[in-house]
Amino acid sequence: MTLKSASSVSVTMLKKMEILDVDKVIEEFEAMTKDAENVQRETLKKILEENGCSEYLQNLGLNGRTDPESFKACVPLVTHKDLEPYIQRIADGASSSILTGKPITTISLSSGTTQGKPKFVPFNDELMETTLQIYRTSYAFRNREFPIENGKALQFIYSSKQSETKGGLIAGTATTNVFRNSQFKNAMIAMQSQCCSPDEVIFGPDFHQSLYCHLLCGLIFREEIQLVSSTFAHGIVHAFRTFEQVWEELCADIREGVLTSRISFPSYRSAMAKLLKPNPELADLIHKKCSELSNWYGLIPELFPNVKYMYGIMTGSMEPYLKKLRHYARDLPLISADYGSSEGWIGANINPTLPPESATYAVLPNIGYFEFIPLKENAEEHVEVKVNDSFLSMEPKPVGLTEVKVGEEYEIIITSFAGLYRYRLGDVVKVTGFHNSSPELKFVCRRNLILTINIDKNTEKDLQLAVEQAAKLNAEEKLEVLDFSSHVDLSTDPGHYVIFWEINGEVGDEVLKECCNCLDRSFVDAGYVSSRKVNAIGPLELRVVRRGTFQKILDHYLGLGAALSQFKTPRCVGPTNNKVLQILCENVTKSYFSTAF
């Protein structure tokens, strides 16, 4: 199957079929992945043919060539910082074809939780098409295992405000650009995943009021809900933690058929008035179920008896929320959503029966051109890489999609239809196997999100494991760590790790001192352990923050224009994230230093 025919089949299916033909989608996917190498060459050819006239590629001397060998010889590896001047010119209204052949009309904003501020990323129709293809593919495999029939979805999705750049381009978060696209709603209908909430709730101006209305819509349609989802696992956990606080108010709304006064915007009130009618029987049922639950265990299947599974991104920085999610879900399957970023998509979860901790993603070879930098120490070939405007660094030579090896870790490089060429995404993945000739990847960590002072290198995953180990001491007190972050404090000599915890109750000093020691001991990286033993790294510090501190961090990002749909708690707060560090430090109530070494 050629790239052109595969793409046209997808578009035709979406436009002409009311319900998605999942067998056809799987057949298409199988054909592509069996011929992944050729599909990759065709994909690169198509990208370069469409965009070869762009200023960026013209200046690199490709001269119309579209083969991978010429592409790699002429086009350097880049980071977002390298492309920022080009993207800024696009945002400022430059009329020429700068990165792509056709003008970019929309800009996506990243969440900003990694670097402390959102990045501008080009967004176009081609990127929207790859988004829909990922959605269709994972849905086809998911629906084969957990079929949904004529049901509704309780989707905690939110659209932030779109704005205009200096040059008049539409700018919004990546999720907002997707949710506001007319093709997205058509696709959700075709996948029988229609949100139970009206558009006024999804696109409303206030996140807190949107969340309340989402919950209310879910309860009104409780018998029809077959799927509960959010972009990230955090969104589901946050929603039901909120439910714990407002459930009686929701029951009152349902009983009287009148929306609470806390919902003030007319658009919400008008939309909800069409759905909300007096229903004392439903109110009594929900009140009874909530009153009888023990510590909210199994809340979701009790509220929504026909729900089939929970769905959202549950890997990486979302893994810490799985314990709470399972508490709410009881025996419901948790399925991790697909793998991508604001810059573009990479793979689909075609093994939905795997638990989120084991989730892998099969790369779709026609949605972009992919390369992988080997991270093993003894890589066979090296190339010069630009550092500070000079070619000073030698790094392992990238390999192609079908050349990766099972069990090895790599950094991903993407070339997209939206003007990113040999772009270092910064993600580290492990190849767990192949689906036909396309690799299946497991997300490991963000390469630049590490705690390091001396020769130590602890990743976000290392931090998560340390927190999980130490949090077990709190569990004995029937308390939980609601959220956490970290920081490298270099103001002391030697520098030391700082871990911030928000806990849902009072914990004694002795328990927290032991938690602090446990955190310190749980970082097993050899560089960290040896540095601690010779005092090249100081004792770890545990700082307990007030309840609601991480909500303040969320509110901070929402105030910058982020959407909850894209929010990820920053796990490692660096020097570019001064405001988040300020929020954390201003809310510290207790502080402990480790005596473990």
Domain map (residue ranges) of the chain: 22-122, 147-332, 460-593
pTM equals 0.81
Peptide linkage before 122 cis (omega within 30 of 0): no
- Write down the pLDDT at residue 451: 86
Residue of 149, 138, 143, 177 lying closest to 29 (CA atoms): 138
Report residue 178: phi and psi, to 5°: -75, -50
Run of H or E including 281? helix 280-292
Largest CA-CA distance found in the chain, in angstroms, rounded: 72
Our CA angle for 232, 236, 241, nearest 5°, is 135
Apex CA 79: angle with CA 74 and CA 83, to 5°?
Answer: 75
Using DSSP bridges, classify how beta strands 369-374 and 399-400 pair: parallel, antiparallel or unpaired: antiparallel
How many Cβ atoms sit within 10 Å of the Cβ of residue 433?
A: 12
**What is residue 378's predicted lDDT score, i.e. its pLDDT?**
54
Which amino acid, one-letter code, is at 336?
A: S
pLDDT of res. 9? 37
What are the φ and ψ backbone dihedral angles of 181, each rounded to 5 degrees?
A: -80, 130
CA distance 136 to 15: 13
The pLDDT tens digits for 506-523 are 888 999 999 999 999 999
User: pLDDT digit of tens for each residue in the chain (597 aa)?
Assistant: 333 333 333 333 334 346 778 889 999 999 999 999 999 999 999 999 999 999 999 999 888 899 999 999 999 999 999 999 999 998 888 877 899 988 887 888 775 555 556 778 888 888 888 888 898 899 999 999 999 887 899 999 887 677 778 877 777 776 777 777 666 666 665 555 678 999 899 888 888 899 999 999 999 999 999 999 998 898 999 999 999 999 999 999 999 999 999 999 999 999 999 999 999 999 999 999 999 998 899 999 999 999 999 999 998 888 888 999 999 999 999 999 999 888 889 999 999 999 999 999 999 999 999 999 998 765 555 556 554 444 455 678 899 999 999 999 999 999 999 999 999 998 999 999 999 999 999 998 877 767 888 888 888 888 989 999 998 887 766 788 999 999 999 888 899 999 999 998 888 899 999 999 999 999 988 889 988 988 889 999 999 999 999 999 988 887 776 667 667 888 888 877 788 999 999 999 999 999 998
Burial classification of residue 77, based on how many CB atoms lie within 10 Å of its CB (0-12 exposed, 13-18 middle, 19 or more buried): buried
Q: Which of 41, 91, 117, 29 is nearest to 579 (CA)?
A: 117
Contacts 24+ apart (CB under 8 A), 554-558: 554/238, 556/580, 556/583, 557/111, 557/112, 557/113, 558/160, 558/207
d(CA 104, CA 86): 12
- What's the rounded Cα separation, in Å, for the pair 597 and 595? 6
Q: How far apart are the C-alpha atoms of 275 and 282, rounded to whole Å? A: 14
Nearest CA to 124 out of 92, 84, 97, 159 is that of 97
Separation of first and last alpha carbons in the chain: 61
| pLDDT given at position 111 | 57
Count CB atoms within 10 A of the CB of residue 292: 8
pLDDT given at position 8: 36
In the prediction, which pLDDT does 557 show? 83
Contacts of residue 582, defined as CB under 8 A and 6 or more positions apart, other chains included, come to: none
Predicted local distance difference test score (pLDDT) of residue 192:
53
Using alpha carbons, list the distances in angstroms from residue 245 to 224, 248, 250, 257: 24, 8, 10, 20
48 Cβ contact partners less than 8 Å away, ≥ 6 residues apart: 57, 62, 65, 66, 71
